[in-house]
């Protein structure tokens, strides 16, 4: 039976991925330091005899032993906080760059041949090319998060060139769905639960983003890893739609049955390094035959309903 290692297995994407892989009958080992990941997200898989969880810090601990007899690593562990990148600058460097290097060294040690990596559309900075292709003009980094993810991508690529390792570098738009636990939908619902008559919004609400449903995302990764066979495979994952922050607010407010006063903080960007328009070209992933099952509106609804029935999650931090 094929053994797969998932780092960041208790995070939003990681915990959904573990479930997805178990359904496909893989044996899965999951690592997470539970700093932002949540043990609760693993409740439904912890009972499976095909899943083993280790609480381990990929930055501080020696992690090599977990890579023995692994066929594929899904490296999802990261500091995923784009917005506060500049408030704790060491985190992106340590968690996103050095940890990725640790993973690669562990892979070499145990001759693991394949890695899938969760990168981000943020590596395009504020591209002039929209929708943005994988080979768009060489971008300039605008966020420390994007910079650290591009660094990780680059280091992985160099290892693939030098050793017998194949990589899948997935550049995600924002992902939505069950277990989603940070980002603007989470923030808005949390605010409206506290006071349904007022909503404070960063930026002017006209920031345009694309969103992908977690189920579509996992299916796309799975298909891409069968379809593309280069040593280094760089693939955008997104939908052919985008919506404004104002659009998401409308959907959320409708679900919650409220019409709050909305206070915009103003400015094109929600924060320093925020990209006012993220929209990725998805021809490469669509060439595999994959297409998303959910619209952005579907995903916002699913996410909102999940959060509204998960009060424990809204109360966290």
Give the C-alpha distances (Å, rounded to integers) separating 23 from 16, 45, 233. Answer: 11, 10, 25
Q: What is the number of other CB atoms lying within 10 angstroms of the CB of residue 132? A: 26
Q: Could you tell me the smallest distance in angstroms from the CB atom of residue 201 to a copy of itself?
A: 21
In contact, 220 and 273? CB cutoff 8 Å? no
- Which of 219, 212, 178, 221 is closest to 11 using CA atoms? 178
CA angle, residues 185, 186, 187, in degrees to nearest 5 = 90
Q: Could you tell me the smallest distance in angstroms from the CB atom of residue 161 to a copy of itself?
A: 5
Give the single-character DSSP code of 98.
Answer: I
Strand-strand pairing, 114-120 and 3-7: unpaired
Q: Pick between residue 232 and residue 308 the one whose CB is nearest to a copy of itself.
A: 232
Q: Pick between residue 101 and residue 196 the one whose CB is nearest to a copy of itself.
A: 101
Catalytic residue among 26, 66, 124, 145: 145
- H or E element: which one contains 7? strand 3-7
Q: Pick between residue 46 and residue 140 the one whose CB is nearest to a copy of itself.
A: 140
Q: Could you tell me the smallest distance in angstroms from the CB atom of residue 313 to a copy of itself?
A: 30
In contact, 262 and 199? CB cutoff 8 Å? yes
- Which of 111, 84, 115 is closest to 99 using CA atoms? 115
Q: Pick between residue 215 and residue 274 the one whose CB is nearest to a copy of itself.
A: 274
In contact, 212 and 175? CB cutoff 8 Å? yes
Q: Pick between residue 19 and residue 91 the one whose CB is nearest to a copy of itself.
A: 91
Q: Could you tell me the smallest distance in angstroms from the CB atom of residue 108 to a copy of itself?
A: 9
Half-sphere exposure of 70 (CA within 13 A, CB side): 32
Q: Pick between residue 51 and residue 145 the one whose CB is nearest to a copy of itself.
A: 145
CA–CA dist 313, 59 (Å, integer): 26
Interacting residues toward a copy of itself by CB under 8 A: 85-86, 89, 93, 97-98, 101, 105, 125, 134-144, 146-148, 150-151, 153-155, 157-159, 161-163, 232, 234, 272-273
Give the C-alpha distances (Å, rounded to integers) separating 21 from 8, 27, 73, 179, 249. Answer: 14, 8, 12, 17, 33
Q: Which residue is it, tokens 């992933």?
A: 285
Q: Could you tell me the smallest distance in angstroms from the CB atom of residue 148 to a copy of itself?
A: 8
Active site residue 211: no
Q: Could you tell me the smallest distance in angstroms from the CB atom of residue 193 to a copy of itself?
A: 31
Enumerate the active-site residues. Answer: 145
């Amino acid at each position: 039976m094929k053994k797969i290692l998932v780092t960041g297995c208790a995070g939003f994407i990681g915990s959904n991925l573990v479930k997805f892989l178990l359904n496909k009958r893989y044996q899965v080992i999951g690592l997470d330091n539970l700093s932002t990941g949540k043990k609760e997200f693993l409740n439904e898989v912890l009972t499976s005899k095909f899943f083993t969880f280790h609480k381990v810090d990929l930055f501080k601990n020696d992690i090599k032993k977990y890579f023995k007899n692994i066929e594929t690593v899904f490296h999802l562990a990261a500091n995923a906080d784009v917005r506060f990148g500049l408030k704790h600058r060491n985190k992106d460097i340590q968690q996103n760059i050095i940890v990725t290097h640790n993973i690669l060294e562990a892979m070499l040690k145990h001759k693991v041949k394949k890695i899938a990596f969760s990168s981000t559309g943020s590596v395009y900075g504020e591209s002039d090319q929209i929708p943005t292709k994988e080979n768009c003009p060489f971008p300039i980094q605008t966020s420390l998060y994007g910079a650290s993810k591009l660094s990780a991508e680059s280091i992985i690529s160099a290892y693939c060139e030098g050793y017998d390792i194949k990589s899948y570098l997935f550049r995600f738009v924002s992902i939505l769905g069950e277990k989603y636990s940070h980002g603007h939908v989470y923030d808005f619902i949390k605010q409206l639960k506290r006071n349904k008559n007022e909503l404070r919004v960063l930026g002017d609400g006209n920031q345009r983003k694309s969103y992908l449903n977690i189920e579509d995302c996992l299916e796309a990764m799975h298909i891409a890893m069968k379809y593309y066979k280069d040593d280094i495979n760089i693939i955008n994952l997104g939908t052919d739609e985008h919506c404004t922050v104002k659009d998401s607010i409308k959907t959320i407010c409708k679900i919650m049955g409220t019409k709050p006063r909305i206070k915009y903080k103003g400015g094109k960007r929600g924060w320093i390094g925020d990209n006012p328009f993220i929209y990725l070209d998805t021809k490469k992933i669509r060439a595999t035959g994959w297409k998303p099952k959910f619209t952005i509106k579907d995903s916002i609804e699913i996410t909102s309903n999940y959060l509204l029935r998960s009060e424990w999650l809204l109360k966290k931090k």
